[in-house]
Amino acid sequence: MGKLNSITIAAAFFMLVLASCHTAKNATHIASHPSKNPKFIDHVTIGGKGSNNIQMHVIQGKHDYKGSDGTIVITKKERVELQEKYAEKVGIPDKKIQNLSLYTFINQWYGVPYQLGGTDKDGIDCSGFAQRLYAEVYGIDLVRTAYEQFEQCKSIRNSDKLREGYLVFFGTKKRITHVGVYLGNNHFVHASTSEGVTISSLDDPYWQSRYAGGGKIVGAEE
């Protein structure tokens, strides 16, 4: 009888361990796959004073690192190099490159090849790039496709009203086919099918003829 009880207890323990492993595996699977229906966060300012950008500090040291509070830290030399590089690409004075978290993100992704459906540095598509940029720079979850992102925005047809961080959309009369993130001076960053992640101009005849308007996050404050 004692032997039977030992076997029963052992069997119960084995089933408990098995169930725990299965639960842990499921939990890991769920955590690695975000919601299929992410939503915009209301009352978030994109660009300008009061922006909800992830904070970045500039230090005098030789190496960049993450501070104890998780903020990104770059050296003064790296800041200057970043400003000079992207001021030239956007066609604005160096001092106007102030959103260091945005341009550091762009710098890390610049030149990554285009891949339809891609979401990482092996290859990424236009809406995937916009989604990752918003998540990592602004802490905002965007929906996945360019059309869905267009539907979630307040449309801004006049390019004079675009601000840094607004989405810009392109397509035909029937559908939205491409999305980028506005930087300033009529320039935007996006994942191009021919060049990968790059910076282009709305004044380029190709993009000008396909421009469908800008997009401001629903509920965002000016």
Nearest to 117 by CA among 39, 191, 33, 49: 191
Could you tell me if residue 159 is inside a domain? Answer: yes
**Tens-digit pLDDT profile for residues 86-138:** 999 999 999 999 999 999 999 999 999 999 999 999 999 999 999 999 999 98
Among the options 21, 43, 178, 187, which is catalytic?
178
What is the reported pLDDT for 157?
Answer: 81
Among the options 29, 57, 63, 190, which is catalytic?
190
- The answer to whether the beta carbons of residues 97 and 87 sit under 8 Å apart is yes
Active site includes 57?
Answer: no
Could you tell me if residue 22 is inside a domain? Answer: no
Domain that includes residue 106, residue range? 56-217
Could you tell me if residue 205 is inside a domain? Answer: yes
CA distance 38 to 41: 9
Could you tell me if residue 83 is inside a domain? Answer: yes
Predicted TM-score (pTM) of this structure: 0.70
Could you tell me if residue 213 is inside a domain? Answer: yes
CATH number at 127 reads: 3.90.1720.10
Cα 133 to Cα 54, 142, 163, distances in angstroms: 11, 9, 16
Active site includes 178?
Answer: yes
Active site includes 126?
Answer: yes
Q: Rank 6-10, 157-161, 172-176, 188-192 by mean pLDDT and report only the highest.
A: 188-192
What domain count does the chain have? 1
CA distance 124 to 127: 8
